[in-house]
Structure 1
Amino acid sequence: MKKALLVLSILFLTVSYGQEIKQVPQISVNGEGKVKVVPDQSTLVVTIETKGNNAKDVKKDNDQKMEAVLRFVKKMNLAPADYKTQRVSLNPQYDYEKKKHSYNATQTLEILLKDLSKYDELMEGLVDQGINRIDNVIFQSSKLAQYQSEARKLAMKEAKMKAEDYVAVLGQKIGRAMTISDNSQTYYPQPVYMAMKSMEMSDTKAPRETLAVGEINITANVTVSFILE
């Protein structure tokens, strides 16, 4: 009987201790850190698309244009690691009205441009050599990891400041962090094109401006739970 009571007492103390741990007073807050950065490089995805009735001729024409494009890219002194073929396709297409087959060939090239001052020259040359589709332009920062680290630190500082503001009203203080959740997502802005300056509108030969790169908002979001003291 005494042993049974002893066992029950130990169980009661264990349960009580467990409940005390679960009921540790704490506060959970969100924090956001944002760093605005002017992009210094971009990734361009461009495509040559050719069509015709003969598969062999269509593919040959597409290959010749891509060969010219690659020669031009090399003349731009881009590092070999900064451009690559992303996709190649040759697909039959059927016109039900005319009851005829045709073929569509595409080759897609991905280019990392590390000097945005060469953007206009690169784009003009690509189009001149046969590129007839611009699939995507993404602006980036070469120091992305550094700015992400800065944004995370700012997010944690804001979370701590929020928690201190809340508990100061109650005459309490925050202790160590219990949990930290990273809710960050990386966002790359899409290109914002500006109208080309017409050379006919002005006698002066000013350099053209064909896009506005804007800024990248590098944002970090965290959720932090602090113990209350």
Structure 2
Amino acid sequence: MLRSIGILVVCAALAAPAWADDEPGRIAVSGEGRVESAPDMAVVTAGVETTAASAGEALAANSAAMTAVMEVLTAAGVESRDVQTTEIGLNPVWTGPQPGREEEGMRISGYSATNLVTINVRALDGLGGVLDALGQAGVNRIQGIAFSVAEPRALEDEARRAAVADARARAELYAQAAGVELGPLMELRDSFAARPPMMLRAEVASMDAGVPVSGGSVALTAQVEMVFAIAD
């Protein structure tokens, strides 16, 4: 019985290399495609920070200021669905001791209230005017502006096609350099990574009215991994 088991193990070990030799060689490559486009919308994060002696006064002043901001946005044509509150905060304002009175330590001298909103501006030609109106309404915090494409699907597909073409070109180059013939595609993995889009080449473009704004261009990038067989 033990001899039979030993024979089976030896046979299996001898058969494994023969199976591995039958497996065709492979060429694994990666490819990248990038498409640039002018943005057609902007996302602005802005709001109001107010300070007062008490927490209630700070919140009341902040609420009044943000009400004015919302009214300005409505007047500028920004729809309610394009405005979203992203941060509300209330914090004490600490003041250090006066010179010569260090033993008193830190004390609360007031309170600071913050309210930030994210605004989708879908008409870039009006972005400068929106920013100008926000400033006049009392906005004193602008966290940043990001530019993007509202409907990126067509650009994403173009980037994917470019990534596949790039990977195939690399595989053909490697096959030629190695002196072999490229066989059929065996595997393809998509690792699309285009969101959020990246800012590129910011050329200053003054709007018809309001704050000068640089739209530049955005890039959508796709990556693929492809495995080709080596033809016999």
* TM-score, length of structure 2 as denominator length: 0.82
Paired positions, count:
220
Deviates more, 1:78-87 or 1:92-101: 92-101
Where do 1:50-199 residues align within 5 Å? Answer: 50-98=50-98, 99-169=107-177, 170-180=179-189, 182=191, 184-186=193-195, 187-189=197-199, 194=204
Shift of 1:78: 2.1
Alpha-carbon distance between aligned partners in 2 of 1:105 and 1:168, rounded to the nearest angstrom: 66
2:35 and 2:158 in contact (8 A); partners too: yes
The secondary structure found in structure 1 opposite 2:156 is helix
1:192 and 1:211 in contact (8 A); partners too: no
Alpha-carbon distance between aligned partners in 2 of 1:82 and 1:191, rounded to the nearest angstrom: 27
Q: 1:208 to 1:81 in 2, by over 3 A?
A: closer
Q: 1:29 to 1:191 in 2, by over 3 A?
A: closer
Q: Residue type matched to 1:218 in 2?
A: L
**Percent identical across equivalent pairs?**
21
Where do 1:200-215 residues align within 5 Å? Answer: 210-215=212-217
The secondary structure found in structure 2 opposite 1:189 is strand
1:179 and 1:226 in contact (8 A); partners too: no
Give the unaligned 5+ runs of structure 1.
198-205
Q: Alpha-carbon deviations, 1:113-150, whole Å to 9, x = none?
A: 11001111111111111101110100000122321121
Alpha-carbon distance between aligned partners in 1 of 2:222 and 2:149, rounded to the nearest angstrom: 16
* TM-score, length of structure 1 as denominator length: 0.83
CA RMSD in angstroms, aligned pairs only: 2.8
Shift of 1:171: 4.1
**Alignment match, 1:200:** none
Alpha-carbon distance between aligned partners in 2 of 1:74 and 1:131, rounded to the nearest angstrom: 15
Q: 1:195 to 1:19 in 2, by over 3 A?
A: closer
Deviates more, 1:90-99 or 1:110-119: 90-99
Alpha-carbon distance between aligned partners in 1 of 2:175 and 2:36, rounded to the nearest angstrom: 31
Alpha-carbon distance between aligned partners in 1 of 2:159 and 2:31, rounded to the nearest angstrom: 10
2:29 and 2:226 in contact (8 A); partners too: yes
Give the unaligned 5+ runs of structure 2.
99-106
**Alignment match, 2:28:** 28
Q: Alpha-carbon deviations, 1:84-113, whole Å to 9, x = none?
A: 111111111220225442111100011001
Alpha-carbon distance between aligned partners in 2 of 1:226 and 1:180, rounded to the nearest angstrom: 12
1:49 and 1:62 in contact (8 A); partners too: yes
**Alignment match, 2:44:** 44
Alpha-carbon distance between aligned partners in 2 of 1:154 and 1:85, rounded to the nearest angstrom: 38
Deviates more, 1:41-50 or 1:147-156: 147-156
1:139 and 1:191 in contact (8 A); partners too: no
1:174 and 1:226 in contact (8 A); partners too: yes
Shift of 1:177: 2.6
Alpha-carbon distance between aligned partners in 1 of 2:203 and 2:54, rounded to the nearest angstrom: 37
Alpha-carbon distance between aligned partners in 2 of 1:207 and 1:4, rounded to the nearest angstrom: 88
